[in-house]
A and B are shown apart, each in its own frame.
Chain A
Amino acid sequence: MSQPLLNATGIVKAFGPTKALDGANMSVHAGEVVAVMGPSGSGKSTMLHCLAGIIAPDAGTVTYDGRDLGAMPDQPRSTLRRTEFGFVFQFGQLVPELTCVENVALPMRLGGMRRREAEAKARDWLGRLEVGDVASKRPGEVSGGQGQRVAVARALVTGPKVIFADEPTGALDSLNGEHVMRMLTDAAKETGAAVILVTHEPRVAAYSDREVIVRDGHTRQVEFA
């Protein structure tokens, strides 16, 4: 098999006296969907944040495309997150003052793209995720399912290599949750992006190619045919 796109080895991360991760390992290859599962408080979200370079582990190494994220200065790591990574969180985390199309265009605008071009791309992605009709609305004016699809569009619009999704359907009912998962994984397959999917819901994990279990700060991976 090819080299992993993302590789975490021996990750340790404590918050005060609590060790969230204690020697966790995980790798993700280009284009694959990996579910990170485990009970609440097991350390799965901390694992995602370490993999995405959002938080620095106390020990251990995270490499992305061969580059050590821990050794990277803040500015290039921040640029990397904006250009190569996409994020979907449980509650969308859309900017409430901006319209949906402005929200989706935001990562491109931050990268210096002109408004007209960025919003045209944003509208295209909103249409692909079947929420083109909410483009001019603010997040507070759309349903939870629509808002989450807007968040997926924002995660995909820059053409990221990895999408980090932390409980992306946690606030949705079953039907909307399925819709979002199908659109997220279909779009990721289409663009070749890898997806790291943190979830405690088995039916959401069933959209992945394989699973990694986090329990008590350790990772468990079952390798079977």
Chain B
Amino acid sequence: MSIGHTLLGLLEHGPRHGYDLKRAYDEHFGHDRPLHYGQVYATLSRLLKNGLIEEHGVEHGGGPDRKRYAVTTDGVTDVQQWLTTPEKPELYMQSTLYTKVVIALMSARDAEVVLDTQRHAHLKAMRALTTRKAHGDLADQLICDHALFHLEADLRWLELTAARLNDLRKQVTS
């Protein structure tokens, strides 16, 4: 997740100070991983240095004065470019699970146990997400769905591998 681009995107709605940005970020995107204040101010400092944001007055309140930041034209262009650049598809070519299955077969252990154990762990995680979805708002549901679909892809791979274990055994032990 690009924190810088996300903060720039949030600033497109209008100038905000760091605390306000952190709160908006956590509300929309930080369900499981809220931002640390240090991350917010370090990122703002970098964006300021790169000319993507600028200071936009100081907010006086009960506590210490707080600087407000606004996105610059370059910052808007940067957000636009980020949004239209596709994320690199993850290929997952280095699979620990595949390695475990092969090692189990090579050593004449029960590879089905490896797959069963993993399936159980995946389903357990999927149950937790399904329960969370039932009580969450739409944003939370979409985040959980994203995780659920990825776990489901793993499980489909597990099933396919289970169906091909005999062939794989012959190949890796020949």
Contacts and interface: CB of A to CB of B under 8 A. Distances in A.
Interface string A22-50: 00000000000001000100000000000
Interface string A196-223: 0000111101111101010100001010
Contacts of B149: 203
Nearest to B148: A203
B159 interface: yes
Given A206-B126, A220-B112, A213 B119 contact: yes
A81 to B, nearest CB: 29
Interface in B127-174: 127, 129-130, 134, 148-149, 151-152, 155-156, 159, 162-163
A222 B117 contact: yes
B116 A213 contact: yes
Given A213-B119, A224-B120, A202 B155 contact: yes
A220 B110 CA distance: 13
Interface in B90-127: 112, 116-117, 119-120, 122-123, 126-127
A39 B115 CA distance: 14
A202 B151 contact: yes
A222 B112 contact: no
Nearest to B134: A182
B123 A211 contact: yes
Given A222-B116, A222-B120, A203 B159 contact: no
Contacts of B116: 213, 220, 222
A206 B163 CA distance: 22
B126 A203 contact: yes
Contacts of A205: 123, 126
Nearest to B118: A222
A215 B94 CA distance: 27
B152 A202 contact: yes
A202 B122 contact: yes
Given A206-B148, A215-B162, A222 B126 contact: no
Interface of A: 35, 39, 182, 200-203, 205-209, 211, 213, 215, 220, 222, 224
Interface of B: 112, 116-117, 119-120, 122-123, 126-127, 129-130, 134, 148-149, 151-152, 155-156, 159, 162-163
Given A202-B122, A202-B156, A222-B120, 13 more contacts: A39-B159, A39-B162, A202-B123, A202-B151, A202-B152, A203-B148, A203-B149, A205-B123, A205-B126, A206-B126, A206-B129, A208-B127, A213-B119
